[in-house]
Structure 1
């Protein structure tokens, strides 16, 4: 069934990818190429390839820094995302620059498409390989390693929902949101029990909460050691919509 769905969806994914690629080309790659060329001619009298990575790094630094600070993912995760986006944007723009330089032999549309496909494939393979090596080596974000003592306390969703986890294993929920698979929201108020499972590592930590007359999912851990958070998936786990609790101040 999975192979059949993939075969059916492949043309739609290809069209969506082509549209997205065209939008990124018009909105990011070509402006970056034009500005890099203009700066090179204005400041040094000729175009230079290194203006491309310099501008890509400068243009993406502030958004990723702000995302890392506001999202609480940590500077290391923000730095990794910034470097990945900078590398992807730089590689794409340098390929376009090499194909479009005035002193380059004129290429047919088919030849240009083939070279872009080849360079793009090599860039994807290289990026995935480096990402796999980084994950295997433990480079990048991972949730903070907590304990039952650190999880015990009051947690809030910031909009009136609170979950109090007492050290004796008692749990008290007040208007905590719970979700059906279709993302229908229910407000949970009541008492019950809770427990913490350390699992095999930071990613497998679980906080099981059982409240009378409520269907509450298992909570997972993320955030930072200074600002830990608990979350559950909203609806389909593949959608990556999260309901988040943070320690009450």
Structure 2
């Protein structure tokens, strides 16, 4: 069990570290960002990842890896074969055990959230569990062949150390990619007045028109449950980040700039900013004035 938990911990740390570094290249979903604080918070994130990953690894071991080993052993005995199951038998049993775990997790999700899973979620979860369980089950099966406790502890320590090493290697590779310019941390585009001028639309019939003389008008624009109609003024402010401020009878609102230089967006947060829900406006092509 310890070997399986360590293996799953390694998978979680490697994937989590890679995802965290990759997220630096994407537009953040919530306000602010921790890119410049990453060297400071990384040790704490790693410690948190170790604790959370170990717990998740234990849960997956109990609900997926152990059933995989039992199923492989049962199929091996039913076939009348002596000894322990071959490695391919363990691999073949994994998708079936993952299917059962998917059902269990789906029922738990339904009980907690009182809603069904999104379309395709079950299939994605099944594939994810199958891929995650194969190496953990193979290592656990290998450890079970040797009853010596000292060797089992050594194997567990080796797997856990390798897990941390893989996660740190992923971080180092991304750091090198950022340092050499192969990858770039996301920066919101900076738009001049001409680029901001035009019609911005929400995709549901609502529009915000920004004119070159500073006049602004809104039509059928729903901002956090408030219908914005009328005229006002707009201007651009640049402090820590560039924003577009609108005042007047059209729901005075600060709009942040997102997207890319080629495809910019204006957005504001709806409700609690920490929830990351946004109203996003895109610029209508050929509508500048």
Q: Render the CA deviation track for 1:135-172: whole Å, top value 9, x for unaligned.
A: 56663343333211101100000001100000011111
Per-residue deviation, 1:214: 2.1
Instruction: Give the number of equivalent residue pairs.
Output: 169
Q: Render the CA deviation track for 1:74-103: whole Å, top value 9, x for unaligned.
A: xxxxxxxxxxxxxxxxxx899749836869
Which residue of 230, 245, 252 corresponds with 1:208?
Answer: 245
Structure 1: tracts of 5 or more residues without a match? 1-5, 31-46, 48-91, 180-184
1:169 lines up with 2:206 in the alignment: no
Relative contact order (alpha carbons < 8 A, sep ≥ 6): 1 or 2 greater?
2
Which residue of 14, 18, 30 corresponds with 2:52?
Answer: 14
Aligned to 2:167: 124
Contact 1:232 1:242 in 2 (8 A): yes
SS in 2 for 1:167: coil
Aligned to 1:238: 274
Q: 1:86-105 to 2 correspondence within 5 Å? A: 96=136, 99=139
Q: Render the CA deviation track for 1:99-148: whole Å, top value 9, x for unaligned.
A: 36869974866555544433332333333344455556663343333211
Query: Once structures 1 and 2 are overlaid, which stretch shifts more, 110-119 or 157-166?
Result: 110-119
Structure 2 CA distance for partners of 1:205 and 1:189, relative to 1, 3 Å: same
Name the larger-Rg structure.
2
Which residue of 192, 196, 217 corresponds with 2:236?
Answer: 196
Structure 2: tracts of 5 or more residues without a match? 1-43, 69-86, 88-131
Q: 1:144-159 to 2 correspondence within 5 Å? A: 144-159=189-204
Aligned to 2:262: 226
SS in 1 for 2:203: coil
* Structure 1 residue ranges, 4+ long, deviating more than 6 angstroms after superposition: 92-95
Aligned-partner Cα distance in 2 for 1:21–1:193: 56
Structure 2 CA distance for partners of 1:169 and 1:125, relative to 1, 3 Å: same
Structure 2 CA distance for partners of 1:94 and 1:149, relative to 1, 3 Å: farther
RMSD between superposed Cα atoms in Å: 4.3
